[in-house]
Amino acid sequence: MEPLSNKRKVIAFKPLNLLERTYLPEIAKGMAITMKHFFKKDVTIRYPEQKREFSENFRGQHSLKRDEDGKERCTACGLCALSCPAEAITMTAAERQPGEENLYREEKYAAVYEINMLRCIFCGLCEEACPKEAIYLDGDIVPTDFLRKDFIYGKDKLVEPPLNQ
Amino acid sequence: MELLDIGIKFILIVVIFLISLVVAMYSTYAERKLAAFFQDRVGPNRAGPFGMLQPLADGAKMFMKEEIIPTRASGLLFIVGPSLAIMTACIGSAVIPWGQPIQIGSRIIDLQVTDINVGILYIFGVVSLGVYGVMIGGWASNNKYSLLGAIRAASQNISYEVSMGLSIIALLMITGTLSLKEITEQQHGWHWNILKQPLGFIIFMVCSFAETNRSPFDLPECETELVGGYHTEYSSMKLGFYLFAEYINMFISSAVMATLYWGGYNYPGMDWVAAHVGPTIAPLIGVAVMFAKVFSFIFFFMWVRWTIPRFRYDQLMDLGWRTLIPLAIANIVLTGIVMTFFK
């Protein structure tokens, strides 16, 4: 049979000669290899201080976007919740009152918007579904916590900070 | 005057004791750090700068841990085991000459706790006592893995002590004395025993790897087969003592190797140095040289540990009985022939 690679090596079972039986040459060889690694630069990324850059399409924590005037884009249409395969998103819609035009872009907005980070699988379907370009998974890794209830992120954690003008 | 002498000896003992503890402590750190370097990692770097406080943290952890004594373990022996292990490890350093006599003021102080004329035999006696700690601990745990580990330790130590003793005999034929002090003095000025006894040194070194239960002969505590070996049932500081004893043993056997074969505190050009810096500083340089040798041996121990895989048990016995003992005997015969015809 034709070998798949040229690396095939026929191994004969032959008894060791005297030098090999002392183990010493092979031990010296092995020690040389470890010594080479001793002086090699390590590849460790010292995590909390030093972070590896995410790839461009990395999906992390969600953020609810504002438009160029600093108004919330979300209109609580519910398409993200509908598209979510893990059913992680819930929201309550409310109507914009007169005088709140600078806060919300359209007449309807999400009074409560919650994502359960333990359920979320970071698939990005909410991003795809959103007609208003209001939600993006462009954040960091979701941090750990001790209680399940603390993983339900409300608008306080999700909405982008207001624009500074 | 008599009282002052005793006081000085006492201080010397305390200092050597503390040094061996600190060296053992930092050997654990060095072991982890070197293991990391050999494997292209970083190693402990969180506690203090470069992780220097890691041994302290480990020690504190060991003391804080819950102490578990199995119900069916034999109570007294379970405690005797680790105590014996650490005790025998600590008393070995008594006969090692750390440096030339040092002159402070008008007093001349010996940098050796005691220069008994059977120094090497004393070390052998202490080392063979060390296996009792392991044996008793493994037996008292009432656990099959512990017992197997203990049996392995005992048979391994007994087999390797034979060839260790035989390799020493060839050395003693040259030196004609058992006192470590005299052996070191004889090696003054490039008469290091390693040059006369290379084979003996290799045998001695392999045996001391086995005696200290270090890899590649760490079968008594091999995790893959025996859970934790003889200290499977131990927790808290009792476990700490066992681990600590291993590192102290390593330190002591490094010191013995340096003394017997590598000239101890002798270094090239020491007479010139002694003539120039005076009788107070020169012995201290000798001590530093001695410690440099000891530390390089410790480094070598660790280098080997992270390079060579563990022996199989039958291979271990085979190497001990059928390779090292004949080699050691051949070494004795060779030494005898050379001494008879080329002197």
Residues 33-62 on A with a CB inside 8 Å of B are 33-35, 37-38, 40-44, 46
pLDDT score for A88 = 92
Cβ contact A40–B45 (<8 Å): no
Side-chain-side CA neighbours of residue A91 (13 Å): 21
If pLDDT is split at 50, 70 and 90, which confidence band does B299 have?
A: very high
Task: Check whether B1 has a pLDDT greater than 70.
Answer: no
Shortest Cα distance, chain B CAs vs residue A21, angstroms: 10
- Spell out the domain ranges in chain A: 63-158
- How is domain A63-158 classified at the CATH fold level? Alpha-Beta Plaits (3.30.70)
DSSP tag of B105: T
Longest dimension (CA), chain A: 96
pLDDT score for A125 = 92
Closest C-alpha among B230, B207, B225 to residue B217: B207
pLDDT in tens, B266-296: 888 777 877 887 777 888 888 888 899 999 9
Cβ contact B303–A31 (<8 Å): yes
Cβ contact A42–B40 (<8 Å): yes
User: What is the predicted ipTM?
Assistant: 0.73
Nearest CA in chain A to B46: A46
pLDDT in tens, B225-275: 777 778 888 888 888 888 888 888 888 889 988 888 888 888 887 778 778
If pLDDT is split at 50, 70 and 90, which confidence band does A165 have?
A: low
Rounded to the nearest integer, the mean pLDDT of chain B is: 85
DSSP annotation string for A61-126: S-EE-B-TTS-B------HHHHH-TT--EEEEEEEPPTT-TTTBSSSEEEEEEEEETTT-----HH
Cβ contact B306–A34 (<8 Å): yes
pLDDT score for A56 = 86
Longest dimension (CA), chain B: 65
- Inter-chain CB pairs, A–B, below 8 Å: 33
Rounded to the nearest integer, the mean pLDDT of chain A is: 87
Q: A69 to each of A91, A101, A103, A127, B343, how far by Cα in Å?
A: 23, 11, 9, 21, 101
pLDDT score for A118 = 92
Q: Does B45 touch chain A (CB under 8 A)?
A: yes
Nearest CA in chain B to A49: B46
Which segments within chain B are labelled E, that is strand?
A: 102-104, 107-109
pLDDT in tens, B53-82: 888 888 888 888 888 888 887 878 888 888
Shortest Cα distance, chain A CAs vs residue B11, angstroms: 39
pLDDT in tens, B205-220: 888 888 888 878 887 7
pLDDT, mean of residues B188-195: 81
pLDDT score for B194 = 83
- Spell out the domain ranges in chain B: 65-341
- Flag whether A50 is marked binding: no
pLDDT score for A160 = 86
Pairwise CA distance, residues B118 & B124, whole Å: 10
With 0-12 / 13-18 / 19 or more C-beta atoms within 10 angstroms meaning exposed / middle / buried, residue B105 is: exposed
Nearest CA in chain A to B36: A38
Sign for the CA dihedral angle at B59, B60, B66, B71 comes to positive
- Flag whether A91 is marked binding: no
pLDDT score for A147 = 92
* Residue whose entry in the numeric block shows the structure tokens 């291993």: B246
Residues 20-39 on B with a CB inside 8 Å of A are 34, 36-39
pLDDT in tens, B4-16: 888 888 888 898 8
Which phi-psi region, left, alpha or beta, contains residue B4 (left: φ > 0; alpha: ψ -120 to 50)? alpha
pLDDT score for B333 = 92
